[in-house]
A and B are shown apart, each in its own frame.
Chain A
Amino acid sequence: MNSIFMNSKNIFLDTVNSKDYVQLDRLSSIYQSLNNSIKKPFKMILLYGKPGTGKSMFLTKLYHDLCESSNIHLYQTPILDENEFYKTLAQDIFDTKYNDTLNFTQFMKIVKNQEIQEIPVVILDEAQLYSEPLMEKIRLLSDTRSIKFVISLHKTEQEDLIAKEHFQTRIWETIELENASKAELKIYIQKKLMKANCFDTANMFSTNTVKRIYKFTHGNYRDTNKLLYTLFDIYTTYEQHSHIYPLNTTKIPNKFVEMAAIHTGLIHA
């Protein structure tokens, strides 16, 4: 049974897909500035923000927009083994396969021997997971201006330290992603639903309902997605057992939002 609630529920599944990217005013200006920075002779670009602020989605969108026109490579999951990291880069960027081990010196030789017309861009998501020696080598690679790195970090005290130690003296641009405001959150929810032709459920989100959601999620996109997924899951359950609770399709009851927040662990009963 594909009801409006079931369809709406699936929209908020926590997946990173550039097609699901919702264009908001603030995000589009940040996106444009990142796009411009890539074209500039910066060695490194740092994208940071709290978990769930849309960094991965942002980088995915950037990759999909530029992959056809630029030499750009996205690594969503970190390659923690150093040898594997160099081999992957050599294969993806320079089409050079290495069956044996490839160390930093060997990789630098490969980089220097290449005649590159356009500087390749390497996007490293979750860069806080890379070891400090590897991060140091990434810094040295960026100094050669042969590869441009866009790295994304979680903004924590420890990760700020990593950023300071490795990138403070380099020429780089920093872009911070933040949680959505109340108005942005409303636009985000409604745009996301309307993109999937769920106009009825999009209209159910009044300003008060969004305020309540914001109270629990603080505008964090990941938490919002989780909450809304559970919210529509609750709707679906009640719909299947219609005798339990009469459903109102014009307004979302606070009870449902609170129940979803309890289920997702945003509040504790």
Chain B
Amino acid sequence: MLNIHELEKQWKSYKIKSYLPYAIVIVSLSVIAGIIYSFYPTQPKVKSQHSKKSIPVQHVHISAKKTKVVDTNKTIIQPKAENIVSPEPIVNKQAKLLPSMNFMTNIQHETQLYAQTVHPVQKTAPKKRIRKEVKKKTSTNIIENVRIKEVPTIHKEQKADITIERKETKNDIMEIIHRFKNNNNPALSLFIAKKYYELGNYHQSYNYALITNQINPNIEASWIVFAKSLVKLHKKDKAIFTLKEYINSSHSSSAEILLNKITSGKFK
């Protein structure tokens, strides 16, 4: 007669042995997955930056399409219309970054300022564009057509901006500040300075532009934000002095344009 209890014990140890390789593989895979996951959180942050940068590209495509629509309807003004549209992305680039400032509500309590600054910029920018277009054109009838057809395209761009607001997280600016504290990257501090400036928090934009200049004094955009912030903080003389010093060292054309605007009173 078989010793069935002993045999069952042996069978159990056999089963354990047979499953052991699988268990080892599963455990090692989970450990590897855990290690990979621990490095993973850094990647989405990088992606969020890229996504922000990619947004203007989408707008450029949209605007290009719109201009094509205009082109089909017009015969004489075709080349002019293209010339007019081409500077638009530059204006839009500034406006498109505005929605991300929603997240600043967590940091500061200047929501009213945000509401005042964001919308006027979006509304006035297209108007200015249209005015420029009008000035450049000679035939009044055709200009009217242009006005009629381009206005709806601007509205569509504004709608696109709204969708961008929804996509971004509120903690983005905090994350960028946190990342800047970690790695002292001047690109990040400049980004923060720009954001604060766009929000109307000129004191903070001045601070971050100053920090950027200290880290890397060769960033033109940083000096411009710095000077603009000074003007907004009613330190026009200091802004002019700073810009002059920077122009002397770098011969920056953008800085010269800004200096002219400040001195002529166009930029207040």
Contacts and interface: CB of A to CB of B under 8 A. Distances in A.
A263 B14 contact: no
Contacts of A244: 4
Contacts of B144: none
B4 A255 contact: no
Nearest to B16: A269
B10 interface: yes
A237 B1 contact: yes
Interface string A223-264: 000000010011001100100100000000001001100110
Interface in B1-24: 1-2, 4, 7-8, 10-11, 13-15, 17
Interface residues of A, number: 15
Contacts of A259: 7-8, 10-11
A263 B2 contact: yes
Contact of B11 (A230, A237, A258): A258
B10 A269 contact: yes
A269 B11 CA distance: 6
Contact of B7 (A241, A263, A268): A263
A237 B8 CA distance: 12
A269 B2 contact: no
Contacts of B2: 230, 233-234, 237, 263
A161 interface: no
A267 interface: yes
A244 B8 CA distance: 11
A258 B4 contact: no
Nearest to B11: A259
A262 B18 CA distance: 13
A237 B4 CA distance: 7
Contacts of B7: 234, 259, 262-263
Contacts of A241: 4
Contacts of B17: 269
A234 B2 CA distance: 7
A138 to B, nearest CB: 44
Contacts of A269: 10-11, 13-14, 17
B73 to A, nearest CB: 75
A234 B4 CA distance: 7
Given A259-B7, A259-B8, A259-B10, 7 more contacts: A230-B2, A241-B4, A258-B15, A262-B10, A263-B7, A269-B13, A269-B17
Which 8 A-B pairs rank lowest in CB-CB distance, beginning with the nearest? A269-B10, A269-B14, A259-B11, A269-B13, A237-B4, A237-B2, A262-B10, A259-B7
Interface of A: 230, 233-234, 237-238, 241, 244, 255, 258-259, 262-263, 267-269
15 contacts: A234-B2, A234-B4, A234-B7, A237-B1, A241-B4, A255-B11, A258-B11, A258-B14, A258-B15, A259-B8, A259-B10, A262-B10, A263-B2, A268-B14, A269-B14
